[in-house]
Amino acid sequence: MTEETLYRILLWGFILSAVGTLPILLFITAPYGRHTRKGWGPQINATVGWVVMESPSVLAMLACFVVGSQSWNAGGIALLCLWMLHYVNRTYVFPFRRRGGSNKMPLFIAASAFTFTSINGYLQGRHLFTLSGGYGAEWLLDPRFICGAALFLFGWGVNLQSDAILRNLRKPGEKGYKIPTGGLFRYISAPNYFGEILEWTGWAIATWSLPGVAFAFWTFANLAPRALSNHRWYRETFPDYPTNRKALIPGLF
Ligand code: NDP
């Protein structure tokens, strides 16, 4: 079997598993953070969990760049920079800045996410630097790249700002939850997820690729149900929670 055939099987398996995961997550909220509960097996340190489970996003992409046959093209390198802009923060900065004491996450969550980021890193990286035939300098002037990169950067800004607002709700070492305010929290309960979904939608457009669309859909399948759970949790937990705030998409739901 050629690598192209294997790649295609993996990609379609990845897409089908996102389609299957979305309805499951509408009924079963992933048991980490505020939704942590017993009965999900052994727990590990959450900071370690975040670094380990996100690392393949950086390492698999770099490996695909190193071994790629079309790596040294300006368009591909620009896309690599967008990817790293997000993932260096998510993997090696964000986990150490989180506040809330030494909280735990189920090993099962870290292992599932590790599998996901390994497959996704391979699918995105192999496409970018080999199977696409390469993204040359002319891609930088293509409207799909320009619009996609602009949406990615906008989403990245929203995600960073929202993560920072959440982080600053707690003083170092403090635990517990408060009502977040400011930024897009004025309109929705999960602007960090909204920003993340915009980012990977921008990535799908900027790469104009099926693996890009697959990742954007996976992000939505993961985060839209969680945004709904968080929104419900806020309303049940805080009697004074703003009633005009939606869950994920300003003005819609
Ligand atoms: P959350 O919004 O649940 O939590 C983010 C951080 O803020 C945690 O440290 C959390 O503490 C803290 N926090 C959240 N709400 C409050 C509050 N009301 N008061 C005080 N502290 C609060 O986000 P996730 O942990 O689910 O995700 C983190 C990042 O990872 C996000 O930017 C998200 O977009 C991204 N992500 C991306 C995925 C993808 O598929 N691409 C999948 C999952 C996450 P605690 O941990 O104690 O709850």
DSSP state of 131: I
Q: How far apart are CA 23 and CA 25, in angstroms?
A: 5
Query: How distant, in Å, are the alpha carbons of 22, 108, 128, 212 from that of 17?
Result: 9, 17, 22, 15
178 ligand 1 Cβ < 6 A: yes
Tell me the pLDDT tens digit for each residue of 131-141: 999 999 999 99
169 ligand 1 Cβ < 6 A: yes
Ligand 1 centroid to Cα of residue 32, in Å, is: 9
The whole-model pTM stands at 0.97
**Whether 21 contacts 221, CB under 8 Å:** yes
The closest alpha carbon to 43, from 110, 89, 134, 98, belongs to: 110
Q: What is the mean pLDDT of residues 30-46?
A: 91
Mutate to test the pocket of ligand 1, among 21, 32, 34, 236 (most ligand atoms within 8 A of CB): 34
95 ligand 1 Cβ < 6 A: no
Q: What is the mean pLDDT of residues 233-247?
A: 97
117 ligand 1 Cβ < 6 A: no
Least confident span in 119-128, 171-180, 231-240? 171-180
98 ligand 1 Cβ < 6 A: yes
DSSP letter string, 172-234 = TT--S-----SGGGGTBS-HHHHHHHHHHHHHHHHHTSHHHHHHHHHHHHHHHHHHHHHHHHH
Output the residue whose Cα is nearest ligand 1's atom 48: 33
Per-residue pLDDT band at 172 (split at 50, 70, 90): confident
Judging by beta carbons within 10 Å of its beta carbon (0-12, 13-18, 19+), is residue 96 exposed, middle or buried?
exposed
196 ligand 1 Cβ < 6 A: yes
DSSP letter string, 47-66 = HHHHHHHHHHHHHHHHHHHH
192 ligand 1 Cβ < 6 A: yes
